[in-house]
Structure 1
Amino acid sequence: MLKIRKISILVWNLSTNDGIIRATLLGEALKRLGYEIEIIGFIFGQKLYKATPDGWKIITVKGTNYPGFLKSSWELLKKIDGDLIYAIKPQPASYGIALLKKLFKRVPVILDIDDWELSWHGGDEWKYRPSLKQFARDILKPEGALRRPEHPLYLKWMENLINQADAITVHTQFLYERFGGIFVPNGKDIELFNPDKYDSQKSKVHYNLSGYRTLMFPGAPRPYKGVEDVLIALDKLNQPDLKLVIVGGSPYDDYDDKLIEKWGNRIIKLTNYPANVMPEIVAAADIIVVPQRDNSAARAQFPLKITDGMAMAKPVLATKVGDIPKILGGTGYLVEPSSPEQIAEKIEWIFQNLEEAQEKGKQARERCVKYYSIDTMSAILAEIIQGLEPKRSKIY
């Protein structure tokens, strides 16, 4: 059997967090197994995503649209020298490159699917049926749609090639049912995210949150993530010391700025921080909120915010969407999606019964240690790599 010593984790765009966070979690789990790890990929933006972990071997190539993308791809292809490629997302700029390397060098490929990429474009309903004139525009004009490597037509082609991977990993039931594969959760570094190491009140002071009761959303707001439902709930409660703390903001658009424009009196926004600082920030939260709305994009995701809160023994208030109820396993508080009224009621209940809620947070920490740690990821990945044609594993 092939002796694997080095693994190249291929990320389609290292300019954003769209894949880099999942790549980092998988990389950390693989490092604990003794493998040499490199993260490699294109930069389609101006620079490397600022939350990329320090001290990791990261190889980049400037990403461009077609036809320049073909030259960039060849340049990236030559830089991949792992004994195994772990491609993040069925994107042409990650999985497509990985399949080319497999074709030329017979390097085994694992594909990780952490989102349903086509869900952003209408899912199964999306069709590309242009007129001849529109097709010519899309392919010939400098800004033509088909010049973008991430165009949904190419994503559809990549989905048709998923069975060419030597193994597939997923992290939600939705993705498993759609693509098969083996369940590898979004694990948490439970030693880094250890509430015993942090003082909640000191964190509140440090991040200018003292005097507030804080609902924390440690992520990038997008409409389907339901942040507006929390803000409407806060309007209903109308208690000035209740604040929604957004950590990081959206790297995709100005959506969080629009939220602040409308609900500036309810929001405190913190900037992006490296992963090793996040536990100190989460320590300042009274409640972690994960208010996903019910659509295919949300059902496909494993919200990292949940395990942030669970690992730090915080009460987690979330919606009954996708895998969220299974992840929490009775250790959090659940409401129906798109229900500000229920969110408001549950917020009020948690603060009126804070001691009980904090006890439930401790139970969430225990569940996170057992099922959602980096070590859990490592154990599953060890079996995958040893077999390379793994049997499907039981989920949860």
Structure 2
Amino acid sequence: MHYRKREVVRVRASGYDCDVLVIGGGIVGLSAAYAITRAAPGTRVTVLEKETGPARHQTGRNSGVIHSGIYYRPGSLKARYAVRGAAEMVKFCAEYDIAHTVTGKLIVATERAELPRLHALVQRGRENGIPVRELVAAQIAEYEPEVRGLAAIHVGTTGVCDFGAVAHRLAEASGAEIRYGARALRIDRRPERGVAVRTADGAVVRGRVLVNCAGLHCDEVARMTGDDPGMRIVPFRGEYYELARPGLVRGLVYPVPDPAFPFLGVHLTRGIDGGVHVGPNAVPALAREGYGWGVVRPRELARTLAWPGAWRMAGRHWRYGGGELWRSVSKPAFTEAVRRLLPAVTGQDLVPAAAGVRAQAVLRDGTLVDDFLIREGARAVHVLNAPSPAATASLPIGREVARRALTALGRT
């Protein structure tokens, strides 16, 4: 994003509109606002969201899974926050009467080469404090009669909920001022005075500390603030189908993931509405909010292609990416991937559903950032990598962001 400092509005020494100014009204930004007002009552928080309501992108366009934390490296932020966050999310949903259920899930090995990785997941789950039951092939039918595999594990703490409803409730409960239709155009930060944000409607909002939870645009917001994020968001579209015969699946069924990638593979998820989502795959999107092949934003695409890490990532993982692209354009190929887990599925059972886009942080050397990434600048906190399981972990993430923001504000 081209940025000329002369064009931005200047911060006044007095007359702040709020103490903490949050950019981004997804579940992480709203959790941060909620945590700030809980930790420091009386702190004035304003949330700027460019859409007309909350949770319009990553939060509202996923399969609604409350992840257990079994996949993540012990000691990582993902492991710590997902395990803690899953329990807290179930409690939050129960407290505020938000639709949810704890279903448990199966992770199924369908090839012998996957068995060592499945066993490694058992060990990882136990290190993370997650109850795991190992299953031989004949025991899979106890949970999923139509699923086939060589072995599986059952994870009892996984569930599903309505993350969009969670975001709405966080917005209400936070007591923050939420400004919708307020896309940030320019940011001026002066460490001794705070920040000022000019929005697309011409308003200027001034705060003492900025919190960047802009998701798909978080790197751009960081650069507007004057901080170098050291990464770029490379958007990956996740394409879903709906299962026309939802009775084939009782709960949640996953393949054994490839540990080299932060994607979980095509899986089956019975949602809170009783429908079964199938997917997602992971293909490069041609826009930050590129929910279909027809959505192309040349400037955004050019900025992605100008990032050296995007090319290094492609060169390193072209074979994996080629398979994902093939399943995107070929429904029979996608169907075959599902049939590895659920042999009864046919192409007619798969009905196209809404897609989502994952905000994947990529470093200059092409590394896909696997853990949550939170960095600080002068009077600023930037959440720079928070894709799945960020919705599950949003309450602990929000508290960590709040702690840093309040420290910058001088209130801890």
- Shared fold, TM over 0.5: no
TM-score (ref. length: structure 2): 0.23
TM-score (ref. length: structure 1): 0.24
Higher relative contact order, structure no. (Cα contacts within 8 Å, ≥ 6 residues apart): 2
Q: Greater strand share, 1 or 2?
A: 2
Q: Greater helix share, 1 or 2?
A: 1
